[in-house]
Amino acid sequence: MTADPETRLRADARRNRDQILAAARVIFAAQGAEVPMEEIARSAGVGVGTLYRRFPDRDALIRAVAVDNFDRVLRDAKAAKDQESSDWEALIRLLHQSMELQLSIQLAMVSPRALAILKSDPAIKALRDELLLVMDSFVQGAQAEGRLRTDVATGDVAILFATLLRQMPGKGEEVARMATRRCIGIMIDGLRAVGSNEPLPGRVLTGADLDP
């Protein structure tokens, strides 16, 4: 059965939107948030007019990319919760999969414009808060299992992970991504309960200690 024109139009619009977001994600990661919109449209294989129909300005596109990134990570977190045999394994899986957040973190570090959007947009805040709740359940569960050291909390894990996901120096993308994976591995070893003999300074950091 042939799809009616309205259904095809909706499918085309969705495909165009997905292509624009995919192109923007790659270009923002490589060049920052101020790249010409025409370049993003060209990379996405759509006209500039199509891009502006989907995203009326640069802020709308930055916001959509960030929302899409956080939504991907949240879905990964929920899948890990359902599919892994323990909260520790779910936490480890999330840390390895959450490189989607790298773009949002990079944008926040280098672009005041993107940082303002990430901090003020209610949809991004809602996704971030929900992700922190899922992470908190992983942290508390992993500590109850005796797998995660007890002198850390969700804020500690989130801040450490965000720090590691800044762009890693390296000769090319492959080296940079390998450096990120290695740093995550080192971080995981530091979070393990076994062998954690020296207490950490200060107090644990919770989700409430993070900027809104």
Cα 79 to Cα 197: distance, rounded to the nearest angstrom: 33
User: Looking at residue 111, what is its pLDDT?
Assistant: 74
- pLDDT tens-digit map of 112-145: 788 888 888 999 899 989 989 999 999 999 999 9
Cα 71 to Cα 77: distance, rounded to the nearest angstrom: 10
Average pLDDT along the chain? 84
User: Looking at residue 9, what is its pLDDT?
Assistant: 60
Which residue from 132, 113, 111 is spatially nearest to 211, judged by alpha carbons? Answer: 132
- pLDDT tens-digit map of 67-97: 888 888 889 899 999 999 999 999 999 888 7
User: Looking at residue 178, what is its pLDDT?
Assistant: 74
Which residue from 33, 23, 26, 210 is spatially nearest to 110, judged by alpha carbons? Answer: 33
User: Looking at residue 165, what is its pLDDT?
Assistant: 64
Is the pLDDT at 98 greater than 90? The verdict is no
Which residue from 210, 191, 194 is spatially nearest to 151, judged by alpha carbons? Answer: 191
Please report the DSSP string for the chain in residue order: -PPPHHHHHHHHHHHHHHHHHHHHHHHHHHH-TTS-HHHHHHHHTS-HHHHHHH-SSHHHHHHHHHHHHHHHHHHHHHHHHHHSSSHHHHHHHHHHHGGGHHHHHHHHHH-HHHHHHHHH-HHHHHHHHHHHHHHHHHHHHHHHTT-B-TT--HHHHHHHHHHHTSPPP-SSHHHHHHHHHHHHHHHHHHHBSTT--SPPSS----GGGS--
Share of the chain above pLDDT 90, in %: 41
Going along the chain from its start, the domains and CATH numbers come out as 1-56 (1.10.10.60), 66-209 (1.10.357.10)
Planar angle of CA 160, 166, 171, nearest 5 degrees:
130
Cα 27 to Cα 43: distance, rounded to the nearest angstrom: 9
Which pLDDT band, with edges at 50, 70 and 90, does 54 fall under?
Answer: very high
CA 75 to chain centre: 11
pTM for the whole thing? Answer: 0.79
Is the pLDDT at 109 greater than 70? The verdict is no
- pLDDT tens-digit map of 152-185: 999 999 888 777 766 555 566 677 677 777 878 8
